[in-house]
Amino acid sequence: MESRQRSTRTKAQQREQTIRTLVGEARSLFATRGYAHVSLADIVQAAGVTKGALYHHFTGKEDVFRAVLEQVHQEVGERIAASAPTSDAWTQLLSGCRTFLTASTEPNIQQIMLIDAPSVLGWGVWRELDATTSMQHLQEALQVLIDDGTIPDQPVLPVVHLLSGAMNEAALWLARSANREHDLAHTMTALERMLESLRR
């Protein structure tokens, strides 16, 4: 019985390791070459597995890409959460917005999250993933500010979608900017003015 449990754990660990390797290597390839220029053969060769092993865990290249995108969205969300100080809710909001714009326009993230994802998986999937990561952090931050009276009492979801849409559009623009740092600074200045207009 113990031997069977150990064997089951070992197989589960091997499965998890194979998936991590495939997703990690695919992410590197997608980030540097773009989705259209990466084949399944490239992914399995980089991961050191067979196509059969890939198809055991994924239905194809698009499915692998979705797993990569989920990982990227999760990481951006974690960076937003980690960037914000805990003492001042307004500073938390500003810091989270800056972190989103900075992270989402980094070359190794922007190719996957902003350039390829909408065309490969569609905006519906992109928005679904964003809603559970970055947008969720934005909603939580705004709700705190409404609750403490910094922002007038109002339904939070319309504000979340308006601000999220503005930042996503800004991130798409910044991803193609010839001078990202310069344009990011001006974008943050404009965004802070927009946010200030929400305050009492």
CATH of the domain at 110: 1.10.357.10
Global pTM reads 0.83
- Whether 49 is in a domain gets the answer no
pLDDT recorded at residue 124: 86
Evaluate if residue 7 carries a pLDDT over 80: no
The count of structural domains within the chain is 1
- Whether 175 is in a domain gets the answer yes
The amino acid that residue 51 corresponds to is K
Decide if 110 contacts 31 (C-beta within 8 A). no
Nearest to 71 by CA among 37, 22, 35: 22
Range of the domain at 117: 62-199
Tell me which residue has tokens 């259209």.
36
- Whether 86 is in a domain gets the answer yes
The stretch 161-166 carries a mean pLDDT of 92
The stretch 136-154 carries a mean pLDDT of 93
Q: Is the sign of the CA dihedral 107, 108, 110, 115 positive or negative?
A: positive
Nearest to 67 by CA among 84, 79, 54, 82: 54
Evaluate if residue 2 carries a pLDDT over 60: no
pLDDT bin (cut points 50, 70, 90) of residue 123 is confident
DSSP conformational letter for 136: H
Evaluate if residue 125 carries a pLDDT over 60: yes
Q: Which two tokens stand for residue 12?
A: 């589960």
- Whether 34 is in a domain gets the answer no
Evaluate if residue 156 carries a pLDDT over 90: yes
Q: Tell me the chain's radius of gyration from C-alpha atoms.
A: 20
- Whether 101 is in a domain gets the answer yes
Evaluate if residue 134 carries a pLDDT over 60: yes
pLDDT bin (cut points 50, 70, 90) of residue 8 is low
Residue 191 CA to its chain's centroid (Å):
20
Compute CA distances 194 → 79, 94, 105, 162, 191, whole Å: 23, 11, 21, 11, 5
pLDDT tens, residue by residue, 9-63: 687 888 899 999 999 999 999 999 999 999 999 999 999 999 999 999 999 999 9
- Average pLDDT over all residues of the chain: 89
- Whether 73 is in a domain gets the answer yes
Share of the chain above pLDDT 90, in %: 61
Q: Which two tokens stand for residue 32?
A: 């540097």
Q: Where are the beta strands (DSSP E) in 61-173?
A: none
pLDDT recorded at residue 177: 86
Nearest to 35 by CA among 94, 112, 104, 124: 112
- Whether 51 is in a domain gets the answer no
- Whether 80 is in a domain gets the answer yes
For residue 18, the tally of other CB atoms under 10 A from its CB is 17
Which is more confident, 5 or 108?
A: 108
